[in-house]
Amino acid sequence: MTIVARPAAAAPRAPAGRGRLGVVGQIAERRLADLRPELDALDAVDVRHRLATADPPRPFAQRLASPGLHLIAEIKRRSPSAGPIATGDEDVLARARAYQAGGAAAISVLCEPHWFGGSVADLEAVRAGVSVPVLAKEFVVDRRQLPLLRIAGADAVLLLAVLHGRAALARLAQEALDLGLEPLVEVRDDRELDAALATPARVIGINNRDLRTLDVDPERAARLHAAVPEDRLVIAESGVRDAATIRAWRALGIDAALVGEALVRSGSPGAAVRAFVEAGAPPTDPAESARVALVKICGITDVAGIEAAIRSDADAIGLNLVPGTPRALALEEAVDLARHARAIARQPGRPRIVAVTVDRSATQLGAIVRALDPDAIQLNGSEPPGLIAQLERPALKVLHLPPASDIANAPAPALAAELVARANAYLAAGAAQIFLDTSGGPHPGGTGRRADPALVAAVAREVPVVLAGGLEPGTVGDALRRSAAVAVDVASGTERPRQAGERPRKDPLKVALFIKRARAARLDRPNLPARPTPVDPGLVEADDRGRWGTRRQFGGRYVPETLMAALGELEREYGRVRHDPRFWAELRELLATFGGRPTPLYRADRLAASIVERVGAPLRLRLYLKREDLAHTGAHKINNALGQALLTRRLGKSRVIAETGAGQHGVATATACALLGLPCVVYMGAADIERQQPNVLRMGALGAEVRSVTSGSATLKDAINDAMRDWVTNVRTTHYVLGSAMGPHPYPTIVRDLQRRIGDEAAVQIVDVGGRLPDLALACVGGGSNAIGLLDRFIGEPAVRLAVAEAAGDGLATGRHAAALAGGSPGILHGARSMLLQDADGQVLEAHSASAGLDYPGVGPQIAALAAAGRLELATATDDDAFAAMALTAEREGILPALETAHAIAALPRLLSGREGSGRPYAEDVLVLLGFSGRGDKDLAAFGRWREAHA
């Protein structure tokens, strides 16, 4: 045997030799010197024998390919960077067992004696005492070390890219794989990563520590990970400070963290591991899970394939009944596989079993249904829409897209429109799902070709589609991020290399990894479309100039020049943050642990009964309140305040200002600033200070400075003016946390994005309990953050009617109101064009509402765009209506709504009776989602006065 690599072997690449390699070079050289006598004395026959009788390897890669970030807990006695960590006589086995009990996916054991105090004996002891896979953290400098490590029990082995040339590294990785020893190729820069990716290794380690200098760069893993194809598993090593690091890595899609010192130093190893393991688990809250695409594993040909799909929790499996195709099953084979799948299913009905067919008659399909009892039938041929009505099971209709190369010159919009029309024809005929497949012929899958992403995105924007054809673990995540497909289907992309004459078979690791990548694709990316939105794009996204509306007639950025640079910077920084899953993961964690999310959905039956009485028509009203009043600080405002406080940190600004009307946004911002240690100034109209005393006191208690604004009407509008003047003056140090989905671009987008979680959560919750999306979603509107936060999710759902309740103050007819949509005209206020209460000269009129939060003469531009397009129905409630609704809700439900929220409740009877809104009648069984935006404690004094006056 020859030495394939040693420190000196790297020398030709850099003549400095050991000096260039620094500490790692010294260790490697010493390791080689230590081991050489033993390696030279090895007997090949003996090695083969011991290999054959060694305990079989435990599945290391397979474990990492399950969802989430996994923890690899490391056992070491000391390290060159940290010195002695554990005492020499420490019971490594006890520690390894504690790590396993805490949920570690694998144990890493240092084998190097001089610098780390480890040994192969430690590895053997740990391997024998735990049931999880064990990684040999060894300095492999000679290929003959590999079989010895496998014999000692190692399931995976570390290969340091820095120690080997490209070819040698690839050979070592292949030899390890051949031994059943999973190679983990560790890199620390682009060049090493390039070399690692040229090996057959399935697992790449990115070390934040530079092994030459021992310096740690905690961003390295995040940076390099972006360059690793998603069909590899990635382990980040070193630099774990806390659970937040783990959470950020998980959000990025890193598969495992190798943690040593952070665990060793904690008093309770099991608890420390558990905290990290929890932080690595994928999020399960409703808003996140709603964006997860479903996965169908198609073309399963044997029991092992069925088991792989079920172990990885596939949503559906496909059994191919198309004679003459590579994955075709005889009907009896399919029946056996389906029976096996149902026998081992973890829960009834999951995975759904799909019979894949081409151009069969209704009679033939009937026979298949009787024999196989599939959950759905997939139609891969040129079946007419009329066939669907004759089927006894839900139909999945496949539309074949031409492959990208064939449509390069075709007009994409026309092609997309044609596909959408065909999809709609099948959906109208009763198809349950539409598949888009690139195979371009009657073959059900397996061509490995990819559809044109822009074409797919254009179709998926209009109709719900299952993306199929050419997907594999490395591409499925990207495909799902680039289109709003609701599910993915895969056949060849999850198979082993095919043997001649053999039917294709699934590779369990690829199946698991495909499902993991598909499920993770949109996690912590709340601003990626995850379902069709078949409406004008101007209703759901601003253009690059911040314009909304079907004619892009609202929004924009009308501010003094002094602010333009800051708005540009905010736009750029938010542009980076918007699709950075780390930001949203951090925010979600804060919202969950600090903010009280997700907020509950509550069915208010007694209030509903009172409302039905007022409607005076036979209705079965199911009224669900989305309880934002139960979020921390008592209103939805905390969603935006926490998000923008995190953004302030990213912007590098050291001071926060905010405006407030009812005081809820001021309290929320003061709270977020207290949490993050930012100084906070809140501008508040003198009139509002008067009527919202409790919130003024709360802001003070939270350490914020409340500045009274006496100009103009001394309410919200004037508070915004003064906040903007402060911002103009202190723009270099200060971030303005605007409280509503209004203002100059990009604020309407930022605030909407931060508030959309309300509707994202509510949609999942109401389908769970109500069985479908609501018939009507309703919120009160002032600036519009609560309204757009609730309604945004439903804009693209044609079956959901959207409505807002504006404050009518003393009554619309009196002119003393705050109804900018119902009673205003297009104009520009606070940086954006929208609907506005103004006179003929463009002077902004004072709004009038008892509710300080709605007492604003404008409204956000997206809301204005929705109203102008007829997508939003308008209703109003006077001050009296609102106070009465407040009393009613308190008495009937034991919930005291904010006066703002009470406007929505007050408007509901008129909307249901058709006296306001579009007037279109509702079905008798009506499901309503009402944004319960805040709690009413702050309004008690005003409520008391109203009640006295109306006693």
Partner 1 sequence: MTAAASAAMPEARPASAPDPSGPARIRSAFAAARAQGRVALVPYVVGGYPDPETSFAAALAAIDNGADLLEVGLPYSDPLADGATLQRASAAALQSGASFDAAVELVRQVTTARPDVPVVPMAYVNQIIGGGDGAPAARRLAAAGASGLIVADLTPDEGAEFERVAADAGLALVYLVAPTTPPERIRRIAARSTGFVYCVSLVGVTGARTRLAAGIGPLVRAVKAASPVPVGVGFGVSRPAHVRAIAKLGADGVIVASSLVDALGPDGRDVRSLGRLVRALREATG
Residues near partner 1 (CB under 8 A): 545, 556-566, 711-712, 717-718, 721, 724-725, 728-732, 825-831, 833, 836, 838, 840-845
The rounded distance, in Å, linking the Cα atoms of 539 and 871 is 9
Q: Output the CA angle 695-700-706, nearest 5 degrees.
A: 80
Which C-beta is closer to partner 1: that of 60 or that of 554? 554
The rounded distance, in Å, linking the Cα atoms of 250 and 240 is 12
17 torsion bin: left (phi>0), alpha (psi -120 to 50), beta (else): left
> Minimum distance from CB of 753 to partner 1 (Å)?
22
Strand 601-603 and strand 620-627: the pairing is antiparallel
Which C-beta is closer to partner 1: that of 117 or that of 556? 556
> Minimum distance from CB of 868 to partner 1 (Å)?
11
**Nearest partner of 298 among 443, 427, 502, judged by Cα:** 443
Token pair recorded at residue 516: 């993991």
Which C-beta is closer to partner 1: that of 571 or that of 580? 571
Which C-beta is closer to partner 1: that of 431 or that of 656? 656
Which C-beta is closer to partner 1: that of 560 or that of 944? 560
> Minimum distance from CB of 808 to partner 1 (Å)?
22
> Minimum distance from CB of 898 to partner 1 (Å)?
26
The rounded distance, in Å, linking the Cα atoms of 876 and 879 is 10
> Minimum distance from CB of 584 to partner 1 (Å)?
29
> Minimum distance from CB of 666 to partner 1 (Å)?
19
Crossing angle between the packed helical segments 243-252 and 269-280, to the nearest 10 degrees: 30
Which C-beta is closer to partner 1: that of 654 or that of 730? 730
Token pair recorded at residue 858: 């404008």
> Minimum distance from CB of 31 to partner 1 (Å)?
55
> Minimum distance from CB of 682 to partner 1 (Å)?
17
Which C-beta is closer to partner 1: that of 529 or that of 861? 861
Cβ atoms 334, 319 nearer than 8 A: yes
Which C-beta is closer to partner 1: that of 133 or that of 857? 857
> Minimum distance from CB of 546 to partner 1 (Å)?
9
**Nearest partner of 98 among 125, 76, 130, judged by Cα:** 130
For residue 887, count CB atoms less than 10 angstroms from its CB and return exposed for 0-12, middle for 13-18, buried for 19 or more: middle
The rounded distance, in Å, linking the Cα atoms of 142 and 268 is 37
For residue 51, count CB atoms less than 10 angstroms from its CB and return exposed for 0-12, middle for 13-18, buried for 19 or more: middle
HEC-encoded secondary structure of 494-530: HECCCCCCCCCCECHHHHHHHHHHHHHCCCCCCCCCC
Token pair recorded at residue 906: 């007050």
Q: Which amino acid is at 536?
A: D
Neighbours of 861 (CB within 10 A): 32
Cis peptide bond prior to 351, omega within 30° of 0: yes
The rounded distance, in Å, linking the Cα atoms of 137 and 159 is 9
Print burial letters for 375-395: b (CB count within 10 Å at least 16), e (below 16): bbbbbbbebebebbeebebbb
Which C-beta is closer to partner 1: that of 726 or that of 760? 726
Which C-beta is closer to partner 1: that of 351 or that of 746? 746
Cβ atoms 761, 894 nearer than 8 A: no
Cis peptide bond prior to 694, omega within 30° of 0: no
Q: Which residues does the annotation mark as catalytic?
A: 637, 659, 933
The rounded distance, in Å, linking the Cα atoms of 431 and 379 is 10
Residue 480 CB contacts under 8 Å (≥ 6 apart), including other chains: 293, 467, 488, 518, 521, 522
Q: Rg for the chain (alpha carbons), in Å?
A: 31
Which C-beta is closer to partner 1: that of 566 or that of 929? 566
Which C-beta is closer to partner 1: that of 286 or that of 546? 546
The rounded distance, in Å, linking the Cα atoms of 757 and 283 is 14
712 sits in which H/E element: none
What's the first-to-final CA gap in the chain, in angstroms? 100
> Minimum distance from CB of 811 to partner 1 (Å)?
23
Q: Output the CA angle 835-840-844, nearest 5 degrees.
A: 55
> Minimum distance from CB of 549 to partner 1 (Å)?
12
> Minimum distance from CB of 717 to partner 1 (Å)?
7
Strand 776-780 and strand 801-809: the pairing is parallel
Which C-beta is closer to partner 1: that of 403 or that of 743? 743
Q: Which amino acid is at 82?
A: A
> Minimum distance from CB of 837 to partner 1 (Å)?
11
The rounded distance, in Å, linking the Cα atoms of 270 and 103 is 8
- CA distances, 419 to each of 370, 457, 466 (Å): 32, 12, 13
Cβ atoms 7, 32 nearer than 8 A: yes
Q: Output the CA angle 394-399-405, nearest 5 degrees.
A: 155
DSSP 563: H
